[in-house]
Amino acid sequence: MPTDARCLVETDESSGTVRVTGVLDRVGVETVRGTLLARLWQRPGPTRLDLSGARLPDPAVRDALDALRREVAEWPAAELLLDPAGSPAPRPAAPAPELIEAELPPVAESAREARSLIAAGCARWGLPELVEPACIAVTEMVNNVVAHAVTPMTLRLAPRGDALHAAVRDHAAGRPAYAGRAPVDSVGGRGLLLIDTVARRWGSTSLPDGKVVWCVLYAEDEAAFRN
């Protein structure tokens, strides 16, 4: 039960609910953010934030929570439900999300395993046109962990409509920084450019003990590119 001086944050493991009581200000929202991010990664599927017992005196707190909700929606099989009033009755259990997940070591061979999982997932979900761009993006994400984070990693893939959501989670604090196109005579520095080229959206989210690098690819983008 993380706390700060003014609010209490409790996690209900059985229902996937994080409950906040007390005064939630700009300091407290950082505690809530860390708890939610850890919960959202540990438990794929929807997580409900119950604010019925909390007071939010600063509009910036609500803005921060809305921004967090939008960001985690880009993760595979993740959804943050903001519930200011609280639910009058227990919600039915959500079905298990459609998801592929693998724990990978920080070695070069992990990129090959990731590509195999992408091919299997895209075949299962009817997204064959996304195999190639997803392999490009995820290979770079995995290679970045191997080269820089050097920690065990978790790969997740999940469909959403005609889109594929992919993420790699590691246990290092540094976040990737994309400075645009690299000079033609530079050595390296093109991994993030490749992700930026094939994915409609991508980014990274800091966790209390690492980060998640994610991307979203759309079948319609690939079809338009091929035409």
Please determine whether the domains at 7-83 and 100-226 fall in the same fold group of CATH: no
Task: Give the predicted TM-score (pTM) of the model.
Answer: 0.87
The amino acid occupying position 38 is A
Digit-by-digit pLDDT tens for the chain (227 residues) are: 454 458 899 998 887 899 999 999 999 999 899 999 999 999 999 999 999 999 999 999 999 999 999 999 999 999 999 987 665 555 555 667 899 999 999 999 999 999 999 999 999 999 999 999 999 999 999 999 999 999 999 999 999 999 999 999 999 987 776 545 444 333 334 568 899 999 999 999 999 899 999 999 999 987 666 65
Q: Where are the domains of the chain?
A: 7-83, 100-226
Residue-level pLDDT at 80: 95
CATH C-level class of 100-226: alpha beta
CATH number of the domain located at residue range(s) 7-83 in this protein:
3.30.750.24
Residue-level pLDDT at 59: 94
